[in-house]
Structure 1
């Protein structure tokens, strides 16, 4: 790659990396705040919190990378023009095709990475996220049940533990009002968590069960030596994992199992997810061409570029919104696939025509004056 092209490539690549990091950090922070209860309410470590929130980064990057590339292209082209470098390049015989070449090299690299993230990294990360969330939920006793606190495990189910000594729980109180107006209260001197055949039980020892059918009735009390309270519905370990279309491997979307209950219920979701993954690499290319078509030509300092920048931003936003709408429409009808692929391809082709197809206006012939005619004679 010649020195000039390396210069443009490096300038745009640095801007792209910086933009992508900033955008990802901002969006990741907003997403991370939603998962803050993993640390505060569910007693997990900061490392588990970072792992869970970090697994959402591939999904964010696929959306943010084309936008960051568009912003980097606009910034670098504006800077080149503001420093009169585009004018100098044009005067030295550097045409638009050569100016576009390093930008396209960067765009192809971004498109390849976006394609890999869409086809492989996103389903892998979402499956890992599902696994981690399941483990957090399954670790309800080890990390949620704290000494001296009334801990709500579910709406209508509260557990209190007086003391934890090693693997034993002392002074256990469990109140279950999920089947209102019926109220069941468990009291036990001690207990422990037992996992058996994929199920989790809170085994209570030396206690009693108080069952009240209605608030105006006396409770029925039963004393027990040993009682097993099933925690499996709250851990999620006993459930058969049914992955959403976004969590499925691309091969599963391309050739779905016709007997799969999820596919029978929402076949359109599988189709839309597959085409969305395949079309994602086209958006960096379309966004880059839109930016180049809008502000890729040199202009003097008297010619404002604000309208070109605003027009490029509007075209980019409209294209992305239309693409999302076409993907949603694909759930209902397979013919929407034409719009899913046609929008970025058509936008890129239109941008290429605007950048190279239009011929600049030929300057008007100079007006000859009588004095000039006499001088030439």
Structure 2
């Protein structure tokens, strides 16, 4: 329930950011909910460990508040034994998050990009207003004088300024849209195409018919997939010598490590929460202090994880830290639960705190 509520709240904030699809791009509610729905996997992947952490703290706090943990402890049930059903829950959340990161999220991001291409193509052909210079995407301007009775566009002007060194301009008398194999093309008739030459001059080419693939304007880096849109198998098989992604080697490495390491935070989140409140406590003040420390530790751990993931982009050796952080957190939490040195230190700290409070 908590996971669903948190996901719903964050999804609403994301949906409000996409309201531009209906207002300025003229899209239907179906398209709006489709593209915002495709963001749910990425939201779930981030929220699930947090929801697990909150759920563990809430459940154990209730058990403590109702004195049920005290009864369990008195009957000989140790915190390590109580941990067993929780470990099953942690494993389920881990598998969910791993599946989202490794398989579902890359496909959803790729689907978003493909749908965005269709939206922009649809915007050009059906919703762009005549006589207005419409910026379809950053650096790409589209304009037409009027729409003919047959649906064709008259007086078409297009300028691609995404690469300042290679500004291209298209001018034609007539433009018509054609869809083939799921791709939308704008066929320009009786016009000119202006492009820069290496000498610095501009070359003007006259044409009778010229077809432009409108989906090309969805990506800033032509047809090169961004790391988050590549499947995990593609990231693993990526050839550093491949010129198509030579500039993305660091980002590809960071994306792969993030997908493999991030699910481990589900175990870390659950174990930290259990280590904080898994032992019977009779005072509300003690539970409050333990909860506050657990929240602080989890926040610090997650922020360090984000920082290390960013570091992996520039330093391959940081990949070890990306896995070490959640694993060390799990080890420390298990040590506290099973009565290791850390647990003894925590008990001593609580006794000193209680003595000072008294």
Match of 1:56 in 2: 39
- Aligned partners of 2:34, 2:268: CA distance in 1, in Å? 33
Match of 2:98 in 1: 115
Q: Which runs of 5+ in 2 are unaligned?
A: 162-168, 193-206, 349-358
The answer to whether residue 226 in structure 2 is matched with residue 241 in structure 1 is no
The answer to whether residue 182 in structure 2 is matched with residue 200 in structure 1 is no
How many aligned residue pairs are there?
Answer: 322
Deviations 1:69-96 (A, max 9, x none): 0000011111111111111111222211
Instruction: Report which stretch shifted further, 242-251 or 351-360.
Output: 351-360
1:103-142 mapped onto 2 (5 Å cutoff): 103-142=86-125
- Alignment equivalent of 1:85, drawn from 68, 79, 89: 68
For residues 344 and 202 of structure 1, do their structure 2 counterparts lie closer, same or farther at Cα, with a shift above 3 Å needed?
A: same
Q: Which runs of 5+ in 1 are unaligned?
A: 1-17, 210-225, 362-377
- Aligned partners of 2:60, 2:322: CA distance in 1, in Å? 29
Instruction: Report which stretch shifted further, 245-254 or 152-161.
Output: 152-161
Match of 2:352 in 1: none
Three-state SS of the structure 1 residue aligned to 2:286 is coil
- Aligned partners of 2:188, 2:236: CA distance in 1, in Å? 46
The answer to whether residue 303 in structure 2 is matched with residue 318 in structure 1 is no
Q: After TM superposition, give the deviation of residue 240 of structure 1 in Å.
A: 5.6
Q: After TM superposition, give the deviation of residue 145 of structure 1 in Å.
A: 3.3
Instruction: Report which stretch shifted further, 333-342 or 190-199.
Output: 190-199
- Conserved 8 A contact 1:202-1:231: yes
- Aligned partners of 1:303, 1:168: CA distance in 2, in Å? 72
- Conserved 8 A contact 2:61-2:277: yes
- Alignment equivalent of 1:43, drawn from 26, 44, 61: 26
- Conserved 8 A contact 1:111-1:282: yes
Q: After TM superposition, give the deviation of residue 32 of structure 1 in Å.
A: 1.7
CA RMSD of aligned residues (A): 3.4
- Alignment equivalent of 1:330, drawn from 312, 337, 340: 312
Of the two, which has the highest radius of gyration? Answer: 1
Three-state SS of the structure 2 residue aligned to 1:139 is helix
Match of 1:285 in 2: 267
Q: After TM superposition, give the deviation of residue 263 of structure 1 in Å.
A: 3.5
For residues 40 and 161 of structure 1, do their structure 2 counterparts lie closer, same or farther at Cα, with a shift above 3 Å needed?
A: farther
- Alignment equivalent of 1:354, drawn from 329, 336, 339: 336
The answer to whether residue 282 in structure 2 is matched with residue 300 in structure 1 is yes
The answer to whether residue 10 in structure 2 is matched with residue 27 in structure 1 is yes
- Aligned partners of 1:43, 1:250: CA distance in 2, in Å? 34
Report the TM-score, using the length of structure 2 for normalisation: 0.78
The answer to whether residue 87 in structure 2 is matched with residue 100 in structure 1 is no
4+ long deviations beyond 6 Å: 176-179, 184-188, 196-199
- Conserved 8 A contact 1:295-1:308: yes
Report the TM-score, using the length of structure 1 for normalisation: 0.74
Three-state SS of the structure 1 residue aligned to 2:307 is helix
Q: After TM superposition, give the deviation of residue 153 of structure 1 in Å.
A: 4.2
